[in-house]
Amino acid sequence: MYKSIDLFAGIGGIRMGFDNAFNGNIETVFVSELDKAAQKTYRANFTDSFEIAGDITEIDEHKIPSFDICLAGFPCQAFSIAGSHGGFNDNYKGRCRGTLFLDVVRICDYHKPKVIFCENVKGLVMHDKGRTFEIIRGAFEEIGYKVFYQILNSKDFGVPQNRERIYLVCFREDIAPNSFEFPSGSKKNVCIRDIMDPAPIPSKYYLSDTYMQTLIRHKERHASKGNGFGYEIRDLDGIAGTIVCGGMGRERNLLIDSREHSMVPTTNIKGEINKEDIRKMTPREWARLQGFPDTYKLILADAPLYKQFGNSVTVSVIEAIAKEIYKVLEEKKQYSGESNKMVNEADKKVQMVG
Cβ contact 309:94 at 8 Å: no
Catalytic residue chosen out of the listed positions 76, 108, 118, 170: 76
Cα-only R_g, the chain: 23
Give the three-state DSSP class for 63: helix
The CA-to-CA distance between both ends of the chain, in Å, stands at 39
* Cα distance between residue 82 and residue 98, in whole Å: 15
* Cα distance between residue 255 and residue 243, in whole Å: 14
Question: Among residues 185, 184, 181, which one has the least CA distance to residue 157?
Answer: 185
Is position 76 annotated as part of the catalytic site?
yes
Task: Name the residues annotated as catalytic.
Answer: 76
